Every structure is written in structure tokens, then in C-alpha cells.
């Protein structure tokens, strides 16, 4: 689609359905998406993008990337509709799920509990701190508007004039990079640098929701829904505020945690069903759920369009997430999902 749209259109003529996967970390693909975002005011031009050098993990151009990604999804959706090809997960909903600000408003309108928003699109650290003071909030999470996999996420705490920022971000030669190592910054200049970098790309600031503790760790849950139904889940355990497994955190004892929750477990799954119902045109979702320390109420922290990678986790039928999706696709007419009519109708 990025380099030879005619070839994709030709392939679409023989296709019955289409499944979109994550764009991954391919540099040429990333540049292609950035080119599609070059119409965004203040964005780099196509010529500028051609001159960009690969800089692994650099926190840059996220606004432009989001705009280009949404343009690509729109083009794929139009092409699929014109060719009568069904999309198992719609480009429109995938685009929504990559926009954290939009998701906040969608979930508020859908009565989905979330961490409370403190600021939307703050300009810099000063703007974040001003909003924290205005809302009497001492701990927040700062997230890039279009980030995923904890990219650019900062857990910020304030005590008087002292600041403490915990993030999977490395500073090198005055620039910020994603890192698999979570670092804590307390020097104001460093905190200012990482917060300003994320805010310049557009960000959302949320009140820090106190997560449940279990067996000496802070925990949360990734729940995968397939065709609207929770099918797979895993407990993520950490010594710090970030629980993403790729950051070196552990798989918790899911069954024991589920037992500790008792009847509240059913309420958690019902929350996931309700969340998934907002996106009936998505075959699968990865929903991150935070339980309060009392284990009696929950919030949805994130909903991921490509959050179905749970190696070794099987459902009640003994199927992995991918096997369950394949079974779901085989069992349905390709032009129907969750009872919705074909997107090409």
C-alpha cells in the first residue's frame, strides 16, 4: 500500500476478507507512514522524511506518525469497501484505538471507568505541573497520544518542589529514546527534558490510579476479547508502576489472583465485554484492566488494537489467542462479525 498501491488493489480483487496487523518496527514502513502524515500542519515534508536517518527508539514525530497511520487505515478501508472485501477489524476502529485522547472521550460517553484525565495536550512540564496543582493531584501518568507498549509513558510524582519520574526512557546526547530498562529521574532538568519531549508530540495526562498489590508486587491484567467475549487473560506483576512484560516484569499467578477476587472476577469480565461492545467491528482487543487494592472496582487503562500476543496462554478449549481467532473466522460468514452487516454494504 505504501510503495505499490496498484499491486494491493489487484490482490484485493481476489480476496474475500482482510486482517490488518501492527505496522511493526520496519524503518521503511515507518517512513512511508510519516510521508502520509506530511499534510499535517507543521509536519516534515516528504523530502525531509527521505533525508531522515534511522535512529532506533528515538521519541520523535509521533503526531505526524499518527496522522499518517490514520490516513493509511482510511485508504485501506476505502479500497476494501470498493472491492467488496470484509475487514475483520475495521480501519476506523483501529485508528480510534491508537488515539488515547479520543478513547478517553469514547469511554466516558460509554460509561467505561478509566483513570481520570488531568490534562489533554499540555505543552510541557510546566503545563503538566500547573494542571496537577489545579486538580490537587500529586501523581500522574503522562502518555503519548499515539504511543503503545509503554513507549514514552512517564509515571510522575510530585512532593513539594521535588519531582520523581519513572519511565522506560533513556537520555543520550540531549535526546530521548525508548528503552527496555525503566529508569527513575529526579533531577529537574532531566525530568523536564523527558516530559517536554513527550508533550511536544502531543500527550494525555491521567490521574495515577492505585493498582492492586498481590504477593509483594503491583499487578494489573491484560484481557483479550475475541468477537466481544473475554477469552484469554494474564496477570502482570511489577515492583514499580509499569507492568508491561517486555520491560522485564513477571507473569503473576493469574489463577490465584482470580480466586482472590471471588465474585468480583465476573464483574471484571463484564467490564471487558462492555468495553468491547464499543468496537463491534473489531475481531480482537487487548484490554488492560486495573483493579483497586480492595479488588472491588476496576478501571480500563488501555485498549489495544493489536494486544493479542499472549504466548502459552490457552482458553477453556485449549486454544491460543490466534487459534481461537482462526476458529472464530472459520465459523462465521466473512461478511458478518458480531451481527454487524458487511462494511462493504
> How far does CA 1 lie from the centroid of its chain?
23
SS3 281: coil
How buried is residue 253: exposed, middle or buried, by Cβ count under 10 Å (0-12/13-18/19+)? Answer: middle
pLDDT digits (tens, 9 = 90+) for 151-210: 999 999 999 999 999 999 999 999 999 999 999 999 999 999 999 999 998 999 999 999
The yes/no answer on whether domain 211-331 falls in CATH 3.90.870.40 is no
> DSSP readout, 68-117?
HHHHHHHHHHHHHHHTTPEESS-HHHHHHHT-HHHHHHHHHHTT---PPE
pLDDT at 1: 67
Rounded mean pLDDT, 49-65: 93
- Looking at the predicted structure, is the pLDDT value of residue 344 above 80? no
Beta bridge pairs of residue 159:
162
Query: In the chain, what are the domain boundaries?
Result: 5-87, 117-207, 211-331
β-pairing, 162-172 vs 154-159, is antiparallel
Evaluate if residue 147 carries a pLDDT over 90.
Answer: no
pLDDT reading at 33 higher than 50:
yes
- Please tell me the predicted confidence (pLDDT) of residue 338: 37
Cell numbers placing 125: 512540564
Rounded alpha-carbon distances, angstroms, from residue 216 to 211, 236, 253, 289: 12, 12, 12, 19
Total-model pTM = 0.92
Instruction: Return the pLDDT at 333.
Output: 63
Tens digit of each residue's pLDDT (9 = 90 or more) over 80-105: 998 889 999 999 999 999 999 999 99
For residue 215, pLDDT over 60 is answered with yes
Q: Does residue 340 surpass a pLDDT of 50?
A: no
| Res. 14 pLDDT band, cuts 50 70 90 | confident
Amino acid at each position: 500500500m505504501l510503495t505499490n498501491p496498484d499491486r494491493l488493489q489487484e490482490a484485493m480483487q481476489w480476496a474475500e476478507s482482510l486482517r490488518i496487523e501492527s505496522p511493526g518496527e520496519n524503518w521503511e514502513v515507518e517512513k512511508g507512514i510519516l510521508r502520509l502524515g506530511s499534510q499535517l500542519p507543521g509536519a516534515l515534508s516528504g523530502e525531509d522524511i527521505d533525508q531522515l536517518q534511522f535512529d532506533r527508539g528515538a521519541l520523535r514525530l509521533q503526531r505526524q506518525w499518527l496522522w499518517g497511520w490514520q490516513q493509511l487505515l482510511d485508504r485501506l478501508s476505502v479500497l476494501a469497501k470498493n472491492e467488496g472485501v470484509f475487514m475483520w477489524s475495521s480501519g476506523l476502529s483501529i485508528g480510534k484505538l491508537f488515539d488515547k485522547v479520543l478513547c478517553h472521550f469514547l469511554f466516558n460517553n460509554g460509561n467505561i471507568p478509566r483513570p481520570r484525565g488531568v490534562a489533554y495536550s499540555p505543552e510541557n512540564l510546566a503545563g503538566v505541573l500547573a494542571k496537577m496543582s489545579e486538580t490537587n493531584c500529586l501523581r500522574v501518568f503522562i502518555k503519548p497520544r499515539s504511543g503503545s507498549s509503554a513507549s514514552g509513558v512517564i509515571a510522575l510524582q510530585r512532593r513539594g518542589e521535588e519531582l520523581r519520574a519513572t519511565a522506560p526512557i533513556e537520555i543520550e546526547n540531549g535526546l530521548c529514546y525508548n528503552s527496555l530498562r525503566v529508569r527513575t529521574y529526579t533531577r529537574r532538568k532531566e525530568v523536564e527534558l523527558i516530559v517536554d519531549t513527550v508533550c511536544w508530540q502531543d500527550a494525555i495526562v491521567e490521574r495515577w490510579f492505585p493498582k492492586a498489590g498481590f504477593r509483594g508486587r503491583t499487578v494489573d491484567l491484560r484481557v483479550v476479547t475475541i468477537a466481544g467475549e473475554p477469552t484469554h487473560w494474564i496477570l502482570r506483576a511489577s515492583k514499580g508502576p509499569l507492568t508491561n512484560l517486555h520491560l522485564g516484569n513477571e507473569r503473576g499467578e493469574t489463577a490465584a489472583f482470580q480466586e482472590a477476587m471471588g465474585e468480583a472476577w465476573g464483574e471484571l469480565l463484564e467490564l471487558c465485554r462492555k468495553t468491547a461492545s464499543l468496537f463491534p467491528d473489531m475481531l480482537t482487543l487487548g484490554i488492560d484492566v486495573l483493579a483497586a487494592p480492595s479488588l472491588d472496582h476496576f478501571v480500563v487503562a488501555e485498549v489495544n488494537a493489536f494486544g493479542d500476543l499472549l504466548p502459552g496462554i490457552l482458553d477453556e478449549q485449549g486454544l491460543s489467542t490466534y487459534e481461537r481467532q482462526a476458529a472464530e473466522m472459520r465459523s462465521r460468514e466473512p461478511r458478518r462479525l458480531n451481527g454487524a452487516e458487511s462494511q462493504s454494504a
